[in-house]
C-alpha cells in the first residue's frame, strides 16, 4: 500500500493531517474550503457526523470496529464496507434508486 503521502502522489491528491483536538471543527473547515455541497464524504466515527451532514453526499461506512449510530443517522447512504462505498462513487448510477425521494 504505502504511506498516505505515497498514495496521494499516485492519485494526484492532497493529504490533510489533523492536529489532535477538535477534529470535528477541523474536518468541517477543510470541507468548506471545497464547497461542502459539491463534496462526497465517507466516515464511520462520531467525529465524522457533522462532516457527513454538511457534504453534498455523505456515506457512512460500516466496519468491524463498528460505526457511531449518530453518524449513520447523519449519512445520506450507509455502505457495508469501504470498497462498496468507493464503488458507489465510481459507479454513481448504482445509488440513484437509493437517493430517490
Domain, as residue range, for 44: 34-101
Asked if residue 2 belongs to a domain, the reply is no
Q: At which residue does the C-alpha cell 474536518 appear?
A: 27
Asked if residue 74 belongs to a domain, the reply is yes
| SS3 (DSSP) at 95 | helix
Asked if residue 50 belongs to a domain, the reply is yes
CA distance 30 to 34: 7
pLDDT digits (tens, 9 = 90+) for 61-70: 998 989 999 9
DSSP secondary structure string, 14-76?
---PPPSS-HHHHHHHHHHTT-GGG-EEEE-SGGGHHHHHHSSEEEEE--TT---HHHHHH-S
What CATH number is attached to the domain comprising 100? 3.40.50.1000
pLDDT digits (tens, 9 = 90+) for 4-21: 888 788 878 888 888 998
CA distance 69 to 87: 23
Asked if residue 56 belongs to a domain, the reply is yes
The structure's pTM equals: 0.83
Per the structure block, which three cell numbers stand in for 78? 450507509
* Domains held by the chain: number: 1
Asked if residue 21 belongs to a domain, the reply is no
Asked if residue 55 belongs to a domain, the reply is yes
According to the model, what pLDDT value does residue 2 have? 64
Amino acid at each position: 500500500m504505502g504511506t498516505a503521502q505515497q498514495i496521494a502522489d499516485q492519485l494526484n491528491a492532497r493529504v490533510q493531517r489533523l492536529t489532535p483536538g477538535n477534529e470535528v471543527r477541523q474536518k468541517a473547515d477543510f470541507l468548506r474550503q471545497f464547497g461542502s455541497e459539491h463534496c462526497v464524504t465517507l466516515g464511520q466515527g462520531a467525529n465524522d457526523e457533522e462532516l457527513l451532514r454538511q457534504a453534498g453526499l455523505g456515506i457512512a461506512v460500516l466496519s468491524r470496529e463498528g460505526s457511531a449510530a449518530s453518524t449513520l443517522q447523519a449519512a445520506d447512504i450507509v455502505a457495508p464496507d469501504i470498497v462498496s462505498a468507493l464503488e458507489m462513487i465510481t459507479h454513481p448510477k448504482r445509488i440513484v434508486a437509493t437517493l430517490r425521494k
